[in-house]
Structure 1
Amino acid sequence: MDEDTRYEAVRSRDGRFDGEFFFGVTTTGIYCRPSCPAVTPRRHNVRFFATAAAAQGCGFRACRRCRPDAVPGSAEWNARADVVGRAMRLIGDGVVDREGVAGLADRLGYSARQVQRQLTAELGAGPVALARAQRAHTARTLLQTTELPVTQIAFASGFASVRQFNDTVREVYARTPSDLRAAAPGRSRAARRGGTPTAGIPLRLAHRGPYQAGPVFDLLAHEAVPGVEEVSGTPGRRIYRRTLRLPYGTAVAAVDERPGNRGRSSGAHPGGWLDARLHLTDPRDLTTAVQRLRRLFDLDADPYAVDERLAADPRLAPLVAARPGLRSPGAADPEELAVRAVTGRVEAERLVRRYGKALDAPCGTLTHLFPEPAVLAEAEPHGTLGALTAALADGAVRLDPGADRDDAEAALRALPGLDGTTVAAIRTRALGDPDVAPPGADIPDSWRPWRSYGVRHLRCAGELER
């Protein structure tokens, strides 16, 4: 998109582009999402940015009306396989906060200087600035949904000091942390009584465009491994719950099937969210947990681009019309997904019962974490499962958000007993690749770069086996 096209999207308040770019208004010093309901500024007063971090770096503050930091992420970062796309996925997973820029660069196989240069050249912000913007959003979420002390929120958000936290919040939101907390929209009685991470952090997981929640929950219910996952309720009103192993602790996540805000329109294009709640043992894991849920539910997808391409095929056109906004689910834990792709649901349940780590306090039917690859590699070292878990444990196979997808596939294919169908499933789900065709299926190249979504349409319609 050139800048004139972007301005037309702003003029029409087109929600399709929320998260794809941001615009700042030089006369007010505020930056917004394209669908912001405020009066459209004059063209010569508008500057465009690829990321919120770039807008913040130029001195713009987040709009209080449209809350641009809360938009879905750009679908581009999940689709791209280059270093910028891989870096953005890793930053979203909290790698810079945990390991610094050096750790990010090491995972990407580049020098820190090269990563800084590429991100700044393309996105207008380096890894530190991108991580800072993400920390600010985490801080706002914790301030407005919990009663944690401000000092604890500062470190839970990833800031190195309370002073850095205070300065960043003031710069990004033009409010002090206390003011931001007091201004929380719809602040509930429960929050005022003392909502804490142990009571669960309520979240809205935003998505752009239509969202077919039913097929996603159908798949999750079909695959659910007892002890680790459960899907309760009736179709249309289900809740998915699961345990998560995170860098600093554990979590239990719950996501509601009913999309929120279905009546609102951003221009001619509605958006919305899925309601979720996170019970964290350590609030520093909030950002990582949210990103893993977003990948599982494919919430950063661009359904307009996907549907436009796939609907051009006569075979898929009626399927797309029947299920606009169909998603291609990912994985909350890529290594767990790979193991389950090899073993199947029944065997995965046995592994959980035998080797999974029990939660300190069971949460309903959720009692365990899925066993780590190193534990499985030592306990059952033979066969395909043993080869896979050993490769995951020693890093010979990498499935983290920054993994090179082609390298990961080649490493998987080198393992004994892994067939092409299983490797394709791992690449689609664990690596979040939007453009995978299972071997032997009649999937034309004209569906690129969204073949994974075309496969989902065929499977939902019963034209292709799961």
Structure 2
Amino acid sequence: MNLDPDTCYKAVASHDRRFDGRFFVGVSSTGVYCRPVCAVRTPRRENCTFYESAAAAEKHGFRPCLRCRPELAPGHGLADISGRLAQAAATLIDEGFMAEGSVATLAARVGVTERHLRRLFDAQFGVSVLEYALTQRLLLAKRLLADTALPVTEVALAAGFGSVRRFNDVLKTRYGLTPLALRRRATDGVADRLVFELGYRPPLAWEALLRFLAARAVDGIEEIRDGAYARTLRVEAGGTVHAGWVRIEHVPRRMVLRVTLSASLARAIPQALGKVRRLCDLGCRPDVVDRHLGELAQAVPGMRLPGSVDGFEIAVRAVVGQVISVVHARRILAALAQRTAAAGTLPDAMPGSLRHLFPSAAAIAVMPPQDLRDAGVPAGKARTLQALAQHVADGTLALEEHAPPEATVVALRAIDGIGDWTAQYVAMRALGWPDAFPGTDYALRKVLGVDTVRAMQARTAQWAPWRAYAAVHLWHRYEAMKDAPAVSEPETMT
């Protein structure tokens, strides 16, 4: 990444939130590094150096600022950087992969050799994989000490340190502080709850995102109440599956989302927060996307690409939702969740109407076909769901953010019953691919006034490589025009 010092300093002097998380500034007069939006007095230009990542700043001897808290900075979106593989690896590290894995297993996970990953990582972030991983563990531990009442032992384990002693030694060496000193400095910790703030680059069209999720909310799994979104959650961490719930609300004054996790997810915090970031597309750069979409984005600036907390769930929703209305699909999905309720154990204190976990791939793969039909799934779709579930359960199909979108779309379309609409929808929401576009969608065709694939391609080419965001804007227009949820068309279009 090439950082122009003059541009970076202007961003720091103006506290420009468009640059938040894109670089960090080390201040030699204080020995700390900050986000560009830090509220302290702007340092002198000659005291500033700029780094691609928090890990690079720490490698050069700087400590994290206790005021702007670099661990709260928004991350990168998929299309922000040229090194998509390096970013995929970084996302896995952010979500705790290196607590159990190695550089070799990380490289295998993203589909490259270990040597190539090391080279990509150094070029992209200015540090080694291990240096980046250690910084992320420390920043997570710092966040847990500041924002929760978890015991220090739990903080050390949740952040991926093998022991409290190791945690104390590294914290003292890198930051010159002890866990108790960091906890004394914290002023906003919340006892008996896991409450976090996740930053974003403004603007954020929260109401539009909430409407999108509300129209597709499955009873017993999701609910929208008092301007907040809540749902049940299944998270795998360290070889163990943790079940719980999450509640997300917007705090526009602070330009953050406030995230509350159930106590049952205390051992899976980085993984759970990673799911929230993907669901709400917090790595988005709306200044870039909106400028490219032009007039299409003017009515609702800051539109996010609704993601997922589980790629398989999105694929199931897409298959079930083929041809039928969203309301009908919601009823079927709720019935499916009820029939597989025994597959997951939820904590006792569940908010609102949350009762079930979404069925896992393993559960649907072995589900009796009659149970699928009794839930309202037609026989053809039931066969498609079970074939899809088997591919995901045995690891031959990955529906995750790091998966290659083109190859994944091809693999999905190879499954009987999955066509281009379904594959593109999964690429949009499960993989977070910004240029995916379900061009046979009924609502998109109506809004754009086109009837053929060729006409659709010609009309939407202007929005590449952000056509997925364009699709969300167009769905929003359709729902506003028709005052009804979007409906998908059959998988073929002439």
Q: Which residue of 1 aligns with 2:475?
A: 459
1:187 CA drift (Å): 4.2
Given that 2:147 and 2:188 are in contact with CA atoms closer than 8 Å, whether structure 1 keeps it comes out as: no
One-letter code aligned to 2:280: F
Given that 1:62 and 1:172 are in contact with CA atoms closer than 8 Å, whether structure 2 keeps it comes out as: no
Given that 2:244 and 2:346 are in contact with CA atoms closer than 8 Å, whether structure 1 keeps it comes out as: no
Q: Which residue of 2 aligns with 1:341?
A: 318
Deviations, residues 77-124 of structure 1 (Å, cap 9, x unaligned): 677673213212322332222322222111122222321221012211
Quick one: which of 189, 212, 217 aligns to 1:219?
Answer: 212
Given that 1:388 and 1:415 are in contact with CA atoms closer than 8 Å, whether structure 2 keeps it comes out as: yes
Deviations, residues 110-159 of structure 1 (Å, cap 9, x unaligned): 22232122101221122222222222222122212333221221112111
Given that 1:229 and 1:243 are in contact with CA atoms closer than 8 Å, whether structure 2 keeps it comes out as: no
Q: Which residue of 2 aligns with 1:371?
A: 359
The aligned runs of 1:103-252 (5 Å cut-off) are: 103-187=105-189, 191=191, 195=192, 200-233=193-226, 237-247=227-237, 248=240, 249-252=242-245
Given that 2:235 and 2:268 are in contact with CA atoms closer than 8 Å, whether structure 1 keeps it comes out as: no
| Bigger Cα displacement from structure 2, 30-39 vs 238-247 | 238-247
Q: Distance in 1 between matches of 2:283 and 2:174?
A: 23
Aligned residue for 1:444, secondary structure, equals helix
Superposed CA RMSD in Å reads: 2.2
Q: Which residue of 1 aligns with 2:269?
A: 286
One-letter code aligned to 2:170: T
1:423 CA drift (Å): 0.8
Q: Does 1:58 align with 2:60?
A: yes
Would the alpha carbon gap of residues 459 and 218 (structure 1) be closer, same or farther in structure 2, given more than 3 Å must change? same
Q: Does 1:447 align with 2:432?
A: no
TM-score (norm. length: structure 2): 0.83
Q: Does 1:307 align with 2:307?
A: no
Given that 1:211 and 1:259 are in contact with CA atoms closer than 8 Å, whether structure 2 keeps it comes out as: no
Aligned residue for 1:281, secondary structure, equals helix
Q: Does 1:329 align with 2:306?
A: yes
Would the alpha carbon gap of residues 347 and 79 (structure 1) be closer, same or farther in structure 2, given more than 3 Å must change? farther
Given that 2:318 and 2:422 are in contact with CA atoms closer than 8 Å, whether structure 1 keeps it comes out as: yes
Q: Which residue of 2 aligns with 1:392?
A: 392
Q: Does 1:414 align with 2:414?
A: yes
Q: Distance in 2 between matches of 1:430 and 1:147?
A: 33
Deviations, residues 296-343 of structure 1 (Å, cap 9, x unaligned): 0111211111111112xx4x1xxx232111111100111111112111
Q: Which residue of 2 aligns with 1:15?
A: 17
Q: Distance in 1 between matches of 2:47 and 2:310?
A: 44
1:359 CA drift (Å): 2.6
Deviations, residues 158-192 of structure 1 (Å, cap 9, x unaligned): 1122233123333554422101111112345xx2x
Given that 1:72 and 1:207 are in contact with CA atoms closer than 8 Å, whether structure 2 keeps it comes out as: yes
Higher RCO, 1 vs 2 (CA within 8 Å, ≥6 residues apart)? 1
Aligned residue for 2:262, secondary structure, equals strand
Q: Distance in 1 between matches of 2:80 and 2:427?
A: 13
| Bigger Cα displacement from structure 2, 381-390 vs 10-19 | 381-390
Q: Distance in 2 between matches of 1:355 and 1:79?
A: 40
Q: Distance in 2 between matches of 1:81 and 1:332?
A: 24
1:358 CA drift (Å): 4.3
Q: Distance in 2 between matches of 1:375 and 1:80?
A: 38
Would the alpha carbon gap of residues 114 and 10 (structure 1) be closer, same or farther in structure 2, given more than 3 Å must change? same
Given that 1:434 and 1:451 are in contact with CA atoms closer than 8 Å, whether structure 2 keeps it comes out as: yes
Q: Which residue of 2 aligns with 1:68?
A: 70
One-letter code aligned to 2:268: D
| Bigger Cα displacement from structure 2, 277-286 vs 75-84 | 75-84
Quick one: which of 348, 353, 356 aligns to 2:338?
Answer: 353
TM-score (norm. length: structure 1): 0.88
Deviations, residues 366-423 of structure 1 (Å, cap 9, x unaligned): 2222221122112156521121111111222111232111221111011111021111
Q: Distance in 2 between matches of 1:407 and 1:444?
A: 22
Q: Distance in 1 between matches of 2:99 and 2:425?
A: 30
One-letter code aligned to 1:428: M
Given that 2:214 and 2:223 are in contact with CA atoms closer than 8 Å, whether structure 1 keeps it comes out as: yes
Residue correspondences, number: 438
Would the alpha carbon gap of residues 430 and 80 (structure 1) be closer, same or farther in structure 2, given more than 3 Å must change? farther
1:452 CA drift (Å): 1.2
Q: Distance in 2 between matches of 1:102 and 1:128?
A: 11
Q: Which residue of 2 aligns with 1:427?
A: 427
One-letter code aligned to 1:222: A
Q: Which residue of 2 aligns with 1:265?
A: none
Aligned residue for 2:248, secondary structure, equals strand
Q: Distance in 2 between matches of 1:278 and 1:342?
A: 29
| Bigger Cα displacement from structure 2, 356-365 vs 121-130 | 356-365
One-letter code aligned to 1:212: A
1:288 CA drift (Å): 0.5
Given that 1:202 and 1:278 are in contact with CA atoms closer than 8 Å, whether structure 2 keeps it comes out as: yes
Q: Distance in 1 between matches of 2:20 and 2:168?
A: 27
Aligned residue for 1:370, secondary structure, equals coil
Q: Distance in 2 between matches of 1:100 and 1:278?
A: 28
Q: Which residue of 2 aligns with 1:296?
A: 279
